[in-house]
Structure 1
Amino acid sequence: MTRDRPTGGWLRHLRAGGGRPIYLALVEALETAVREGELQPGDQLPPQRAVADQLGIDFTTVTRAYGAARARGLVEGAVGRGTFVRRRAVDDEAGLVDLSMNLPPPPQGVSLAALLKETTAAILDRTEVATLMAYHAGPGTPGQRAAGAAWLAPVLGEVGAERIVVCPGAQSALTAILTTITRSSVQSGSKPGACVIVEPLTYPGIIALAERLGLRLVACPVDDQGFLPEALARLCAEEQPAAVYLVPTTRNPVATTMGSARRRAVAAIVDTSEAWLIEDDPYSRLFDSPLPALASLAPERTFHIATLSKTLTPGLRTAFLAAPAGPMAARIADALHATTLMGSPLTTAVAVRWIRDGTADRILAGVRLEARARRAIAAEILPAARGDAEGLHVWLDLPTGLDAGGLRTLAAARGLALVTADAFAATSDHPAGLRISLGGPAKASLLREALRNVAALLEPAAIV
């Protein structure tokens, strides 16, 4: 396949019928070929007349399909040359506007590309490449751990660097914690820690990890602030869980934040139990005045995880874990070595340098500005959606019984990638809803149009 010779091989993906217009089936066939890599950016499509003749359909149908594909950003036209697969921007790599993945939006007034080039060059000028490219085991260098403690301070307060573990992302931190504490339960001869208490709707990563490790998830009743204290105390007594897991700030996926009084109540319950508290906190640094972390209220029983993926950029693959005082940081480092070996020394060096020289705060300020502007757009277009003014996502309740798969299919037909409540469900009995992520689209104008499409999709007449 070349860019200079038109190809029609993608037409084999055409699936007509099912009540769908043929032009839409053509667009979906094209989208499939792009997503699977059969069609690459710059590849030329056959002329519309040739497609109509090959399929035995009306020329105007193909014209409409090419127009719809152009509107979705799948193709672009060059006058006198033909139609070509579009060279993709980051936000539409799969031909869809992605409202399903929580990402920080592009920071206002800051060029990540320029900063990354400048910082990488500075690191390479000042560091032996052989050292940078070698294996780096353990919880992190003293300087890296000190930078992590400084990054956590606005939420966690002053914490000793010896409690900090540098991790290649939050998921690796979760893996290390759960493998460590469940192994400790078995070795101590106490009741096997086969249970983790979560909210009915929770982070999909903890669901996947629990399944992989053979852990049982128990859903605790909640209100709009999170765990109900009475229910949590009862479950801690009855289930004797290995851990209690929560995302207290901008709760994922339901987008509300646990207040100070509830945090104190939850911390007190776990502190008097035999369970560990895992506080997954990717969003607090987006707030000008974040609430104190639960780890500051129950420091002896709490693991606090803060990834940079939601506040700066996912590409750094860096998270900081504050472990309880004592030997836990070393045990977590051992678990990380066994599961992920190490993070990327180069991207960790970038993250640490940005924290030290204030660049991280500049990026964070730009992300905050853009995140709040996008949240205001969501409030305007989807007034029923709830979420913090500083949040990267909103939550929209949906009618009970609505077919989540059908909704996602309808959304894809409109060029949208959506995620519904079933992706976050720790139990079959859970609320129906839609988490809408606001940071993924590269431009606010693209987000605005996408949210208008969501609003139109959710009109009663649109849902069958």
Structure 2
Amino acid sequence: MYVLHHGKATVTRDRPTGGWLRHLRAGGGRPIYLALVEALETAVREGELQPGDQLPPQRAVADQLGIDFTTVTRAYGAARARGLVEGAVGRGTFVRRRAVDDEAGLVDLSMNLPPPPQGVSLAALLKETTAAILDRTEVATLMAYHAGPGTPGQRAAGAAWLAPVLGEVGAERIVVCPGVQSALTAILTTITRSSFQSGSKPGACVIVEPLTYPGIIALAERLGLRLVACPVDDQGFLPEALARLCAEEQPAAVYLVPTTRNPVATTMGSARRRAVAAIVDTSEAWLIEDDPYSRLFDSPLPALASLAPERTFHIATLSKTLTPGLRTAFLAAPAGPMAARIADALHATTLMGSPLTTAVAVRWIRDGTADRILAGVRLEARARRAIAAEILPAARGDAEGLHVWLDLPTGLDAGGLRTLAAARGLALVTADAFAATSDHPAGLRISLGGPAKASLLREALRNVAALLEPAAIV
């Protein structure tokens, strides 16, 4: 039975509870209604209660436990807010059917993907395009090795794709890469090898934001490079701090994602871009501008590569604007021999990209299909961002962005939060995954494009909101 003390409960074991209520662990001054919710959550997580199972009536639970009816009512309400149960008047309360969105049974809010484009069937387009390519291209050509920075036609398509952001750029500066990570590998191995061979200090480090793309963190570790975190504000690097670090550290490179910054979701303004470009342009460092999101904007801000073209590598992947399955990114190198050197590094590290998916990407750019897909992605991305603003008003991010950032209380156990989220069918990623330094803000990056349908996203975000309620994370 349960003995109540001023709305709290302690448990005695002289009366069995039976069923999922055996998971009840009251005590320690915790409210009994919260202990009930946690017992229900445990039973769902362990599979004892299945989606669609009906819970006993609230009055029956109150009578069985010897507690007040309103306490059970509060518990059922909290469980509903957490997304554990659903109910209807006259029917009862049932374990909620989880919106399964992947093979692991999780709705993925951790991986940044473009949402399914409105008004466009990627499956139909892919079938049509691959059939046309196979009909008009020698299969042997698609099955062969291809070295170098890309064919003239592929490089011209890349220049055309980058033009709305970079302006006119010569195709001879374009290198076709099988994704951003391969591009970053080629850039860093090229510029740091030169630095080490000359015996200078620049090869020692790369300047990044305190929270940055996990791929650059992993790559720096593999290459033995130090990451130096530059102080930031809501627009990114603080110019005075960046200038000081460039002078003191003599970095090989400065790496940033200026548009819809990853993970914090804000965009560097025009004035700040000019300041950052000017600082790097007068240093010995190279600027690596990772720009996956600018094409999602109707009027993108000037790329840093257009402000410091002699010192900037500009990378734009199709994975965030069209689909990650194309495994294609376009790199605009500084004028001169750098494009050829990057192509050599790509050959040494990844050999080549897939000729077939590259052919699909190029065809879509040439015939306007890429613009159609992009327009559909923009529409859906904005609709999803509006859903996030409705459900998580404290989250920040661009109206065109694929993710938002939510500050979390300092000291919150990030691992515990992810575990609780997984128990609710959510895959989340917290600030520690992006941390280039131990001194970083706590937060949660919520990616909006992964769920197959906006309705699944809405449900998942409601579960996130419930998860972040104080009672849920005590």
Contact 2:83 2:462 in 1 (8 A): no
> What is the root-mean-square deviation of aligned Cα atoms in Å?
6.6
| Partner deviation per Cα, 1:28-87 (whole Å, 9 max, x = no partner) | 999999999999999999999999999999999999999999999999999999999999
Q: Secondary structure at the match of 1:77?
A: strand
For 1:347 and 1:31, the matched residues in 2 are separated by 44
1:184 Cα deviation after fit: 0.8
| Partner deviation per Cα, 1:227-254 (whole Å, 9 max, x = no partner) | 0000000000000000000000000000
Q: Secondary structure at the match of 1:193?
A: helix
1:142 Cα deviation after fit: 0.2
1:190 Cα deviation after fit: 2.1
For 1:182 and 1:57, the matched residues in 2 are separated by 68
Corresponding residue number in structure 1 for 2:120: 110
Q: Does 2:112 correspond to 1:66?
A: no
Task: Point out the more displaced range, 26-35 or 309-318.
Answer: 26-35
Contact 1:7 1:46 in 2 (8 A): no
Label 1:32 to 1:363 Cα distance change in 2 as closer, same or farther (>3 A). Answer: farther
Label 1:295 to 1:36 Cα distance change in 2 as closer, same or farther (>3 A). Answer: farther
Task: Point out the more displaced range, 288-297 or 6-15.
Answer: 6-15
Task: Give the TM-score taking structure 2 as reference length.
Answer: 0.81
Q: Does 2:52 correspond to 1:42?
A: yes
**Greater gyration radius:** 2
Contact 1:31 1:95 in 2 (8 A): no
Contact 2:98 2:425 in 1 (8 A): no
1:92 Cα deviation after fit: 1.9
For 2:40 and 2:139, the matched residues in 1 are separated by 44
Contact 2:84 2:424 in 1 (8 A): no
1:461 Cα deviation after fit: 1.1
For 2:208 and 2:18, the matched residues in 1 are separated by 50
1:191 Cα deviation after fit: 2.1
1:226 Cα deviation after fit: 0.2
| Partner deviation per Cα, 1:397-451 (whole Å, 9 max, x = no partner) | 0000000001001111111000000000000000000000000000000000000
Label 1:40 to 1:238 Cα distance change in 2 as closer, same or farther (>3 A). Answer: farther
Contact 1:198 1:244 in 2 (8 A): yes
| Partner deviation per Cα, 1:175-213 (whole Å, 9 max, x = no partner) | 000000000112223225110000000000000000010
For 2:316 and 2:41, the matched residues in 1 are separated by 36
Please give the residue correspondences for 1:46-195 in structure 2 after superposition, counting only pairs within 5 Å. 91-195=101-205
Contact 1:136 1:342 in 2 (8 A): yes
Label 1:200 to 1:3 Cα distance change in 2 as closer, same or farther (>3 A). Answer: same
Label 1:38 to 1:116 Cα distance change in 2 as closer, same or farther (>3 A). Answer: farther
Task: Point out the more displaced range, 121-130 or 11-20.
Answer: 11-20
For 1:174 and 1:2, the matched residues in 2 are separated by 61
Unaligned residue ranges in structure 1 (runs of 5+) = none
1:119 Cα deviation after fit: 0.1
Contact 1:2 1:43 in 2 (8 A): no
Q: How many corresponding residue pairs? A: 464
Percent identity between matched residues is 99
Contact 2:173 2:335 in 1 (8 A): yes
Label 1:363 to 1:410 Cα distance change in 2 as closer, same or farther (>3 A). Answer: same
Task: Point out the more displaced range, 227-236 or 43-52.
Answer: 43-52
Unaligned residue ranges in structure 2 (runs of 5+) = 1-10
Label 1:355 to 1:187 Cα distance change in 2 as closer, same or farther (>3 A). Answer: same
Task: Point out the more displaced range, 83-92 or 357-366.
Answer: 83-92
For 1:55 and 1:345, the matched residues in 2 are separated by 66
Task: Give the TM-score taking structure 1 as reference length.
Answer: 0.83
1:93 Cα deviation after fit: 1.8
